[in-house]
Amino acid sequence: MILATASQGITKSSDTVEVYNLSYNHISCMSLKGMTDIGKKLFVELPYSQMLRYPIMTVTENFYRYYIETLILHMFPALLIDSLLTIFGQKRRLVKLVRKIYIAYTVLAPFLCNTYWFLNDKYINMQKDLKEEDSAFSFNYKSWTDEEMYEFIKGGKLGMEVYLFGEKLGVTGSKAKQKMMKYWLAEVIFKTILLTVFLWIFMYKLNFFNLATIKTISYFNSLSS
């Protein structure tokens, strides 16, 4: 800020306002996939102690896949849990929360599915004009290593636990990991049951296998006749 103020102060024109972007731009970029990979690693090493289900993170640009997975993996379980909460006289909350998250992701989709470059050429060029005795006002732009990116996101995760969830800093021990493994087992069982029901409806109730077999045989018979 001091450097930008000094640079603006010595310019001749006072009719314009310069905007200096402090982004890392092309110097050190982090892709959505990179953040996702780090997030998956943190789920295993530092799981949340107040998790409600096993954390799963997938990235897709296909809206229909996102919509279907939201219904199956989020909305249906939320409806089930809210129904149980109603039975036990508790307030329904998950369906409303899932809906808010869905709307938020839909709004953010253009920013998540496209690449944006925030140019910082002005700030970099301004630093090049610094004299050697003013080097204390320079900001050393350098590429982040994978370890530094991991530590940065890890710090954000720990801070979120403290200020959003009210947990003590860094308290995610063996109990949280055991809880996560239980949720993982429940997730596997739930998906297995869901897949079994889907296949049962698809193959037997809709008689898809027999219809496909008959169509295939008819097709080859028509070729030979």
Where in the chain are the domains? Answer: 1-29+116-139, 32-115+144-224
The position carrying tokens 């640009």 is 61
DSSP assignments along the chain, one per residue? -HHHHHHHHT-S--S---------TTTS---HHHHHHHHHHHHHHS--TT-SS-------S-HHHHHHHHIIIIIHHHHHHHHHHHHTTPPP-HHHHHHHHHHHHHHHHHHHSS------HHHHHHHHT--GGGGGG-----PPPHHHHHHHHHHHHHHHHHHTT-PPTT---HHHHHHHHHHHHHHHHHHHHHHHHHHHIIIIIS-HHHHHHHHHHHHHHHHH-
Mean pLDDT over 179-192 rounds to 85
Q: Which residue has the higher pLDDT, 207 or 196?
A: 196
- Number of neighbours of residue 180 by Cβ within 10 angstroms: 20
Q: So what's the pLDDT on residue 6?
A: 64
- The overall average pLDDT reported for the chain is 77
Q: Which residue has the higher pLDDT, 97 or 123?
A: 97
Residue 163 pLDDT exceeds 70 = yes
Q: So what's the pLDDT on residue 153?
A: 84
Cβ neighbors of 168 (< 8 A, separation 6 or more) are 162
Cα dist. 130→5, 42, 53, 135, 167 in Å?
13, 41, 53, 7, 45
Q: So what's the pLDDT on residue 170?
A: 56
Q: Which residue has the higher pLDDT, 11 or 195?
A: 195
Mean pLDDT over 197-219 rounds to 73
Residue 171 pLDDT exceeds 60 = no
Long-range contacts of 30-36 (CB under 8 A, 24+ apart): 30/144, 30/149, 32/59, 32/112, 33/59, 34/149, 35/153
For residue 223 the two structure tokens come to: 């070729």
Give the span between the Cα atoms of 170 and 185, in whole angstroms: 25
pTM of the shown model: 0.57
Nearest to 52 by CA among 188, 191, 176: 176
Q: So what's the pLDDT on residue 9?
A: 64
- The rounded percent of the chain whose pLDDT value lies above 90 is 0
Q: So what's the pLDDT on residue 200?
A: 81
Mean pLDDT over 22-48 rounds to 78
